[in-house]
């Protein structure tokens, strides 16, 4: 991300990235692999946060529901869940939901999930499940001028 000229990055899906590292090291008996997964997650999230303001990183992931009904990003290992807490690195966290057969993004928490967005960014708590719409809205909100479009 640091060395690319692209403005937009989409990581789909991040949970799969975590599982790939975990399973490629499944024969290891120590907990070092979980420390490494935590460190690599932290490095990616930290790097994303240090990019220029006009660059947007969309990290897509599955969710999990805990025993208390709280919904958050699905990860592997306690270090990522309890120490790093991926959602805390972002100003905007949307969650896909289905409402009356319509696929939508939730923009604000319902008290049991980690959704959030700045006040006034989205006019509704449920918006169209459309990443282009989300990107356009973010750019308009922050005054980001898109310089080029890359279809890859």
Confirm if 115 and 73 have CB atoms less than 8 A apart. Answer: no
Tell whether 149 is covered by a domain: no
Tell whether 13 is covered by a domain: yes
What's residue 30's pLDDT? Answer: 86
Tell whether 152 is covered by a domain: no
What's residue 112's pLDDT? Answer: 95
List b or e across 128-140, with b for residues whose CB sees 16 or more CB atoms inside 10 angstroms: ebeeeebbebbbe
Mean pLDDT across 46-51: 91
Write down the pTM of the prediction.
Answer: 0.86
| Pairwise CA distance, residues 4 & 11, whole Å | 14
Tell whether 102 is covered by a domain: yes
Count structural domains, the chain: 2
Tell whether 68 is covered by a domain: yes
Tell whether 23 is covered by a domain: yes
Tokens representing 125?
A: 């708590």
Q: Which domain holds residue 61?
A: 1-90
pLDDT at 96 over 60: yes
């Amino acid at each position: 991300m640091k060395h690319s000229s692209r403005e937009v990055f989409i990581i789909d899906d991040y949970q799969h990235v975590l599982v790939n590292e975990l399973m490629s090291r499944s024969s290891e008996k120590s907990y070092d692999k979980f420390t490494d997964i935590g460190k690599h997650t932290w490095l990616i999230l930290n790097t994303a946060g240090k990019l220029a303001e006009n660059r947007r990183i969309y990290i897509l992931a599955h969710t999990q529901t805990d025993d208390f009904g709280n919904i958050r990003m699905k990860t592997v290992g306690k270090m990522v869940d309890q120490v790093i807490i991926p959602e805390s690195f972002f100003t905007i966290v949307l969650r896909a939901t289905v409402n009356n057969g319509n696929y939508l993004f939730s923009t604000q928490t319902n008290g049991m999930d980690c959704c959030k967005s700045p006040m006034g960014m989205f006019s509704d708590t449920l918006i169209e499940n459309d990443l282009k719409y989300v990107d356009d809205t973010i750019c308009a909100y922050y005054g980001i001028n898109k310089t080029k479009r890359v279809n890859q």
